[in-house]
Amino acid sequence: MKTALWFSTCVFGWGIAVFLMTYVTRGPGRLSLGTILVYNLIGYSIAIAALARHVQPGWSWNHLLAVLISVLYVAANYAYYQLSQAGQEVAVLAPLTGLYVVVTVLLGLALLHETMTLRKGLGMAFAVAAVILLVWER
């Protein structure tokens, strides 16, 4: 039951967040990219404050990688905002940028020595095919 809740939170949280990322760059009262990123930081700060009791202080390779994660998230969000502001449709932009899962799977195979299965290969192929079908216009 708890797993289903976490999966639902990921799917709906990311889905709604990606839609809102597009809305705030193009909707009424459009915000500048700098404003959006600062308010993203405020949102992250609220979440961090709520989770502060779980922090494992220290400095190690993994702590450095955790910092890199946040830099990558901000860079990816900024790139998404730029694409959205340039007028890309959310119906095209979200699926294309959602192909990050293919990168994740390939990194898992290469660096974590996860096994490639027919199911994973078909899943990646179908993900790419689905995006092509979503963005393809005649």
Alpha helix (H) ranges present in the chain?
2-26, 33-51, 61-85, 90-97, 100-111, 118-135
Question: Exposed/middle/buried for 29, CB within 10 Å: 0-12, 13-18, 19+?
Answer: exposed
Could you give the 3-state DSSP secondary structure of residue 27?
coil
pLDDT given for residue 138 in this prediction: 61
Query: Are the C-beta atoms of 98 and 134 separated by less than 8 Å?
Result: no
Residue 39 shares a structural domain with residue 60: yes
| Rounded average pLDDT over 16-43 | 87
Rounded to an integer, the average pLDDT of 1-26 is 85
What's the confidence (pLDDT) of residue 113?
Answer: 93
Tokens of 35: 């404003």
Q: Are 93 and 84 in contact (CB under 8 A)?
A: yes
Backbone angles phi, psi at 90, to 5 degrees: -60, -30
What DSSP designation does 57 have?
-
Q: Tell me, yes or no, whether 39 and 9 share the same domain.
A: yes
Q: Are residues 49 and 75 in the same domain?
A: yes
Q: Domain residues for 127?
A: 99-138
Confidence of residue 85 (pLDDT cuts 50, 70, 90): confident
Of 89, 108, 125, the residue that ends a domain is: 89
DSSP 28: T
Q: Please, which residues have CB within 8 angstroms of residue 93's CB and are 6 or more apart in sequence?
A: 22, 80, 83, 84
Residue 94 lies in a domain: no
